[in-house]
Amino acid sequence: MSSSPATGTLSYEQAGVNYDLIDPLKVAAQRAAKATATNLGAHGFGEVEASRGESAYVVDVGPFYLASIVECLGSKTLVADEMAKLTGRSYYDGIAQDTIAMAVNDLITVGATPLVVQAYWAAGGSDWFGDAQRAQALVAGWKRACDACGVAWGGGETPALAGIVESGRIDLAASCTGIVNPKSRLSLGDKLAAGDAIVLLASSGIHANGLSLARKLVERLPDGYRTEVAPGLSYGDALLAPTVLYSPVTEALAKAGIVPHYCANITGHGWRKLLRHPGAFSYRIHAVPPVTPVLKFIQQHAQQDDQEAYGTLNMGAGFALFVAAGDAQRTVEVARAQGVEALVAGVVEAGAKKLRIEPLGVEFGGDELQLR
Amino acid sequence: MSSSPATGTLSYEQAGVNYDLIDPLKVAAQRAAKATATNLGAHGFGEVEASRGESAYVVDVGPFYLASIVECLGSKTLVADEMAKLTGRSYYDGIAQDTIAMAVNDLITVGATPLVVQAYWAAGGSDWFGDAQRAQALVAGWKRACDACGVAWGGGETPALAGIVESGRIDLAASCTGIVNPKSRLSLGDKLAAGDAIVLLASSGIHANGLSLARKLVERLPDGYRTEVAPGLSYGDALLAPTVLYSPVTEALAKAGIVPHYCANITGHGWRKLLRHPGAFSYRIHAVPPVTPVLKFIQQHAQQDDQEAYGTLNMGAGFALFVAAGDAQRTVEVARAQGVEALVAGVVEAGAKKLRIEPLGVEFGGDELQLR
């Protein structure tokens, strides 16, 4: 509830995103979008209604489900641009991975295998592409992330949008299409049940959500992006750690015969995303993963308590898998075999919708995440 | 080859897009993207190689082909924003249709039925969405265009990107996913043959390509966007005529048993897009459609000869269908039944790659369209 820009708690709203202005549009758009589902009937298909309001949209096309998504990177490029000025490096190989992660990590929540990624690179002018080092880093990073996810890079758009995108900047997004095959892999709807375990997959840092806050915080740091968050690790470099790509884990789980009952990509709204499923469940967390140095640093310097920090940032957990209790330990092992640290963190219980993070004494009510 | 900003020919390059800077990146990206196709093998699928460099990317997923695309609207919103200031109207219902047309009209070129559209609305700040009239127009127009194309609006992104997108502006794009079903509808590769007819579908105006030029031209007009291009029709209003959605035509053709051998969406590069197919063919045009007033006006005031105008703008033809000669007249009738004017305009011939527009004495060589 404070106040001066130089001290006191820095909340996400203070960092410049006003959801009160965006939300009415979102609600109108969601209502209009829902009404178009009947159009699929003319083609002999139908939507999977449970995917409305979820991270990817799913259509039943007969032999399998089709899933699709478009996702924006957000403002992480602004950090990359500042850091490039300070260090002379291009960070766009990592930025490419971040952008693909935004799309792929959402698409896999429904149980889909990502197949095709399209690139959306809208620059503020043709000259953005004239910096060959940066452009080649973006291309190389994009390809590497596609290879890591086993997707084909189908193509994309590289418009020069002077007057719309700011000069010297680029608006990055990715669309992704995949299939849920076999259909039993669908991880939406009523599979989630009391007694299920919550397995959290480690994040690599801030990923690509909370960057407005992180950039606002720089104004408070005497050394700016050069401030060390750990010995030898600058705030800027730490922020730019690329987002973990989780599709190798979900694909390995499928091969191991483990079908998550539900998944949540922990992005905006931090751990409140664990409340994403529409059902009435309590989520009890008994163990929390280690918090990466950059997130600990942000929490400390933004003077956020755990309630604010865990309700905004990923705090070490980038993706949540809700699995049958008997699959929990094996889920952890499958993730580790893919190089992703994991933890059996909690349990799903019947009861009023809420999330309790017991080790921290933090609780979120079911009304603290409004996505539908 | 001229010169002063106030008079003389105004070419597309002079209007501010420098392809020399973008093209090296495009080539590097296309090469890297092509190398990712093998990733599909691990899923038991493979790309349709002929779709590389085409308007949509196609993957063989067994029972049918999967097609996907992401497309940017471009700078047409800048005209809408200026006109809104002059007239008090919001033009974003039409702008929504334009954005969807960019994606859908590309997707259908491969023979796909569009199924799902995702919205990408990246604003320069939360306050963009605070203009309720404009926001509701965008939502209503988006829904109407989805209904017209028989697609489901799956969802999308509405980020507020202060510092990346200019304040007060919005970067609009759409992704579209569809299927080619039955697979015999695929209109790529070696179906195109000498003797095929070229059917041109009418455009409604400038559509969404050439807007940089059109905006540049305003500087030469004493009455700016209010200048009349026809009695009672202002330049601004004429420019903002929404792009025709051609998927009702291609779907009706499929129902009528007509499978185009190839399709070209006539966007950037104008009629040079008729040279898009990689094969060695000559395209002989014996009839041209009427030119809409706004395009005639642009050609005249930008002092472009037919070579420049037809090589840049759609000049009355928004989409080209290459069909068996015996299907040509019926194709025209099917299009008209969908409310889209059409014309049997020419023929495909064996020979060196070129396009001859005989009524105008204009010719383009095969080297005048470099897309691959």
B27 in A contact zone (CB under 8 Å): no
Mutation pick from B126, B134, B212 vs chain A, by most beta carbons of A within 10 Å, is: B126
Question: What integer is the mean pLDDT of B6-18?
Answer: 65
Residue A127 to chain B, least CA–CA distance (Å): 6
- Whether A57 contacts chain B with CB within 8 A: yes
Residue A139 to residue B70, Cβ atoms within 8 A: no
Q: How far apart are CA B350 and CA A75, in angstroms?
A: 51
Residues of A in contact with B130 (CB under 8 A): 21
Domain B45-185, CATH number (from 3.40.1000.10, 3.40.50.12280, 3.40.800.10, 3.30.1330.10): 3.30.1330.10
pLDDT for residue B168: 97
pLDDT at A8: 73
Residue percentage of chain A with pLDDT more than 90: 89
* Among B22, B39, B45, beta carbon nearest to A126: B22
Q: pLDDT of B123-153, one tens digit each?
A: 999 899 989 999 999 999 999 999 999 999 9
**Each residue's pLDDT tens digit, A163-219:** 999 999 999 999 999 999 999 999 998 999 999 999 999 999 999 999 999 999 999
Mean pLDDT for chain B overall: 94
Inform me whether the pLDDT recorded for A16 exceeds 90. no
In this complex, do B118 and A57 lie within 8 Å of one another by their Cβ atoms?
A: yes
Residue from the list A42, A129, A174 with its beta carbon closest to the beta carbon of B150? A42
Q: What is the pLDDT of residue B149?
A: 98
CATH of domain A55-184: 3.30.1330.10
pLDDT: which is higher, A369 or A360: A360
For the record, the structure tokens of A49 come out as 């209604």
Please give the CATH number for the structural domain made up of B197-368. 3.90.650.10
DSSP assignment of A142-193 = HHHHHHHHT-EEEEEE--B-BTTBPTT-EEEEEEEEEEESSGGG---STT--
Summarised one tens digit per residue, pLDDT across range A243-253 is: 999 999 999 99
Interface test with A, best of B40, B97, B157 (most A CBs within 10 A): B157
pLDDT of A276-316, one tens digit each?
999 999 999 999 999 999 999 999 999 999 999 999 999 99
Put simply, whether A42 touches B (Cβ < 8 Å) is yes
Q: What 3-state DSSP class applies to A25? A: helix
- A71, pLDDT greater than 80: yes
Taking an 8 Å cut-off on Cβ atoms, the answer to whether B165 and A165 are in contact is yes
Pick from A25, A132, A170: CB nearest B129: A25
Instruction: Give the A window 144-203 contacts with B, CB below 8 Å.
Output: 146-147, 149-166, 169-171, 173-175, 177, 179
Given a contact cutoff of 8 angstroms between Cβ atoms, the answer to whether A270 and A302 are in contact is: no
Prediction ipTM score: 0.94
pLDDT tier at B26, thresholds 50, 70, 90? confident
Of B69, B155, B171, the CB nearest to A161: B171
Please state which of the ranges A9-13, B100-104, B200-204 shows the lowest mean pLDDT: A9-13
**Nearest in space to A196 (alpha carbons), one of A334, A349, A54, A365:** A349
Q: What is the structure's pLDDT at A1?
A: 29
Q: What is the pLDDT of residue A141?
A: 98
Q: How many CB atoms lie within 10 A of CB B181?
A: 22
C-beta atoms of A122 and B155 within 8 A:
no
CB contact under 8 A, B42 and A150: yes
Residue A70 C-alpha, separation from nearest chain B C-alpha, in angstroms: 6
pLDDT at A4: 35
d(CA A4, CA A115): 48
Query: Is the pLDDT score of B22 beyond 80?
Result: no
A14 shares contact with chain B (CB less than 8 Å): no
- Judged by a CB distance cut-off of 8 A, whether residue A114 touches chain B is no
> Which run of H or of E encompasses B33?
helix B19-35
Position with higher pLDDT, A4 vs A157: A157
Task: Convert B259-280 to b/e letters by CB count within 10 Å (16 or more is b).
Answer: bbbbbbbbbbbbbbbbbbbbee
Per-residue pLDDT at A13 exceeds 80 = no
In this prediction, residue B3 has a pLDDT band, given cuts at 50, 70 and 90, of very low
Q: Which helix (H) or strand (E) holds A218?
A: helix A211-218
Q: Is residue B262's pLDDT more than 60?
A: yes
Say if strands A281-285 and A354-357 run parallel, antiparallel, or are unpaired: parallel
Tokens found for residue A71 = 């996702």
pLDDT tens-place string over residues B33-70: 999 999 999 999 999 999 998 999 999 999 999 999 99
pLDDT above 50 (res B2): no
Answer yes or no: is pLDDT of B5 > 50. no
Q: Where are the domains of chain B?
A: 45-185, 197-368
Inter-chain touch B39–A72, beta carbons under 8 Å: no
User: For residues B125 and A344, what is the distance between their CA atoms, to the nearest angstrom?
Assistant: 39
Question: Per mean pLDDT, which range of A10-19, A263-272, A362-371 is the poorest?
Answer: A10-19
Please provide the DSSP assignment of B54-74 as one string.
SSSEEEE-SSSEEEEEEEE--
B193/B190 Cα distance (integer angstroms): 7
Q: Tell me the mean pLDDT in the region B285-308.
A: 97
**Which residues in chain B are contacts of A174 at CB distance < 8 A?**
70
B143 contacts on A by Cβ (under 8 Å): 32-33, 35-36
Asked which of A4-13, B139-148, B360-369 is least confident by mean pLDDT, the reply is A4-13
Torsion of CA B325, B326, B329, B335, to 10 degrees: -90
Contact at CB, B139 and A166, closer than 8 angstroms: no
* Beta carbons of A116 and B68 less than 8 Å apart: yes
pLDDT at B13: 61
Per-residue confidence (pLDDT) for residue B44, from 0 to 100: 96
* Predicted pLDDT of residue B4: 35
| A vs B: CB pairs below 8 A | 276
Residue A372 has pLDDT above 60, yes or no: no
Give me the pLDDT at residue B18, please. 72
d(CA A239, CA A294): 7
Residue A133 pLDDT > 70, yes or no?
yes
pLDDT digits (tens, 9 = 90+) for B148-193: 999 999 999 999 999 999 999 999 999 999 999 999 999 998 999 9
Tell me the chain A residues in contact with residue B127 when contact means C-beta distances shorter than 8 Å: 18, 21
User: Cα(B15)–Cα(A88) distance, rounded to whole angstroms?
Assistant: 32
Contacts with B57 from chain A: Cβ below 8 Å: 116, 118, 152, 154-155
Residues 6+ apart with CB under 8 A from B35: A143
Is the separation of the CB atoms in A58 and A66 below 8 Å?
yes
Please judge whether A33 and B153 are an interchain contact, meaning their C-beta atoms are less than 8 angstroms apart. yes
The answer, yes or no, to whether residue A7 has pLDDT greater than 70, is no
Q: How far is the alpha carbon of A289 from chain B, nearest alpha carbon, in Å? A: 29
- pLDDT score, position B17: 65
Q: Is B305 on the interface with A (CB under 8 A)?
A: no
| Cα–Cα dist B192/B189, whole Å | 7
pLDDT value at residue A26: 86
> pLDDT higher for B26 or B3?
B26
Q: Which of B36, B78, B150 sits opposite A143 (nearest CB)?
A: B36
